[in-house]
Amino acid sequence: MSGGIWELRRDEITGWWSATVVDREFEPTRFVAERLSAERDPACKNCAEATVEGVTRRTLRQGAFQSVGTRSDAARGESGFLTLSGMEEAGSWSTIIAPKLAHGELDEVPVGLVADFLIAVRDHLRAGRESGATAYIQYVRNAGAQAGAMTDHLCFDAYDLPQVPHRLAEEIGGAARVSIRAGGCAYCRMIHEEESSGRRVVHRDAYGLVVAPFASRSAFETWVLPHGHAADFADADLATVRGFAETLQTAVRALRAIGMPPYNLMLHTAPLRERVDVTYHWHWELHPRLRPIGGLELASGIPVVPIAPEEAAAELRRALR
């Protein structure tokens, strides 16, 4: 079958478009990517600071962000833009690390350790919300050098951001618009519709749903959403966190269908200073790194996805059988 027929798909919440290839059979050889290495770094700094059991937080940089490039009447250099010397440092960069020698993937460690990570994330968000000192804490899990990882030690990075990320603001605003138009939570409605269809569902359990989104932005992208409506991950109770740990672990395990490539796992949750309880829904997004970004994507801002999410979900389901 000849290639090149793309289906333009629109994300109902954000309004962003993606171009999905819909006229090709799944061919693993089309996806050339680094595979997560089994080799271990003998000089792992995380192992040097980790404990024997449980998770530990390492602060990598205080004052990690400085806002420059904005015109202002104050602290301007000759260019008319704010200079580094005229700015106060903001935010921080830290990491939650697994115990010593824990260099496996999320699906290779006990589910209790995954729960420990999520509890640490939740508690950090709670502390940030109570202090009111920052706008957003972005949590990510980078797996593999191609995904931006600087170590093969199992860890989650936290970026204390002085502003709400653009992507999240688009989701929050879009979800509010859908709620005004149709009522209720856009994500809850999406969960109901995806479960009813089943075409893009990868996994379902008592705590959450793993689904390939209709307007995926990367090949084999999945979202991991809790069944219970909640905007803020910081509000999750202990039973929910522990149950959802298994859901999240299953989403990562499904990547075995495509050889466990590098990936980015990221939390989207409510901003620390805003209450969007009715319209927003926290979730994790999982993006495998299977191919470089092409020229059309850079020029247009429209992601090109070389496999339909319906077909991707079918392949991922096979890995879980």
pLDDT score of 133: 82
Contact between 291 and 217 under an 8 Å Cβ cutoff? The reply is no
Chain segment 150-167, per-residue pLDDT in tens: 888 999 999 999 889 999
pLDDT score of 31: 62
Q: What is the mean pLDDT of the chain?
A: 87
Give residue 34's pLDDT band: very low, low, confident or very high (50, 70, 90): low
Tokens of 206: 């008592």
pLDDT score of 247: 98
Task: Give 142-211 as a 3 state SS string.
Answer: EECHHHCCCCCCCEEEEEEECCCCHHHHHHHHHHHHHHHHHCCCHHHHHHHHHHHHCCCEEEECCCEEEE
Indicate the helix (H) or strand (E) that contains 68.
none
The Cα angle at residue 288 between residues 51 and 101, in degrees rounded to 5: 20
Q: Which residues pair with 161 in a beta bridge?
A: 136
The whole-angstrom separation of Cα 235 and Cα 31 is 39
Question: Residue 250 above 50 pLDDT?
Answer: yes
Question: Residue 272 above 80 pLDDT?
Answer: yes
Higher per-residue confidence, 300 vs 121: 121
What's the Cα-to-Cα distance from 11 to each of 8, 174, 275, 292, rounded to whole Å?
Answer: 10, 10, 23, 22
DSSP state of 36: P
pLDDT score of 76: 46
Q: Which residues pair with 267 in a beta bridge?
A: 284
Give residue 297's pLDDT band: very low, low, confident or very high (50, 70, 90): confident
How far apart are the two ends of the chain, measured CA to CA in Å? Answer: 29
pLDDT score of 24: 63
pLDDT score of 156: 97
The fourth-level CATH superfamily of domain 7-24+33-319 is HIT-like (3.30.428.10)
Query: Which is nearest to 95 in space by CA: 153, 41, 158?
Result: 158
Pick the range with the lowest mean pLDDT from 53-57, 229-233, 286-290.
Answer: 53-57
pLDDT score of 3: 54
Judged by phi (left if over 0) then psi (alpha if -120 to 50, else beta), residue 192 lies in alpha
Give residue 73's pLDDT band: very low, low, confident or very high (50, 70, 90): very low
DSSP 238-282: HHHHHHHHHHHHHHHHGGGGGT---EEEEEE---TT---TTT---
pLDDT score of 85: 42
Pick the range with the lowest mean pLDDT from 184-188, 246-250, 256-260.
Answer: 256-260
Tokens of 308: 């339909």
* Bridging pattern class, strands 304-305 and 17-21: parallel
- Residue type for position 168: L
* Dihedral, 221, 146, 33, 307 alpha carbons, nearest 10: 20
pLDDT score of 93: 86
pLDDT score of 291: 82
Give residue 17's pLDDT band: very low, low, confident or very high (50, 70, 90): very high
Contact between 258 and 214 under an 8 Å Cβ cutoff? The reply is no
Give 3-state DSSP helix, strand, coil % of the chain, rounded to 5.
35, 25, 45
pLDDT score of 67: 59
Q: Is 132 exposed, middle or buried (0-12, 13-18, 19+ CB in 10 A)?
A: exposed
What is the residue whose two structure tokens read 């806002």?
67
What is the residue whose two structure tokens read 């050098």?
145
Give residue 74's pLDDT band: very low, low, confident or very high (50, 70, 90): very low
Question: Residue 248 above 70 pLDDT?
Answer: yes
DSSP state of 73: S
Pick the range with the lowest mean pLDDT from 17-21, 37-41, 275-279.
Answer: 37-41
